[in-house]
Amino acid sequence: MKVKRIVYNIATATPSEAESFYSAIFGLDVVMDHGWIRTYSSSEKMTTQLSVASQGGSGTPVPDLSIEVDCLETALERVKNANIKIEYGPASEPWGVRRFYVRDPFGKLVNVLQHVDYKAV
């Protein structure tokens, strides 16, 4: 047996509120909308991961969701332009990522990160 997909579901009475965060900030496309459930996706091929943690690293809380981007500065600019409060960071972490935390419209803690090559910096 192979796992084909892992879906992260967020409970909310207003699925349309996800548009201003997951689509506007991260550029995800609505690939299914039944009114009661709205699914966002990307055409990028992604690795399936499931993490279990006692902390979020550097003494931070464990985030509900991590989103890896190819340009953290663009994500950071979009978050600031949308007046979304940054809960942590941006920070360059010793394990090779630059990241920040924000909350989505449903209160979920989102870790936005980019892998960096410190040798090239």
CATH of the domain at 56: 3.10.180.10
Q: Which residue has the tokens 């299914």?
A: 32
- The domain tally of the chain equals 1
In a domain, 2, yes or no: no
Q: What is the pLDDT of residues 36-51, one digit of tens each?
A: 999 999 999 988 899 9
In a domain, 83, yes or no: yes
In a domain, 57, yes or no: yes
Residue 68 is predicted with a pLDDT of: 96
Residue 42 DSSP class: -
Residue 67: domain span: 15-115
Mean pLDDT across the stretch 62-73? 97
Q: Would you say residue 60 has pLDDT above 80? A: yes
With CA atoms as reference, report the closest residue to 97 among 73, 82, 117, 121: 117
Residues 6+ apart with CB under 8 A from 34: none
Residues 6+ apart with CB under 8 A from 24: 78, 82
Residue 111 is predicted with a pLDDT of: 98
Residue 15 is predicted with a pLDDT of: 96
Quote the CA–CA distance of 40 and 2 in Å, as a whole number.
Answer: 23
In a domain, 5, yes or no: no
pTM greater than the 0.85 cutoff: yes
Mean pLDDT across the stretch 87-100? 97
In a domain, 1, yes or no: no
Residue 121 is predicted with a pLDDT of: 45
Residue 118 is predicted with a pLDDT of: 63
Averaged pLDDT of the chain: 94
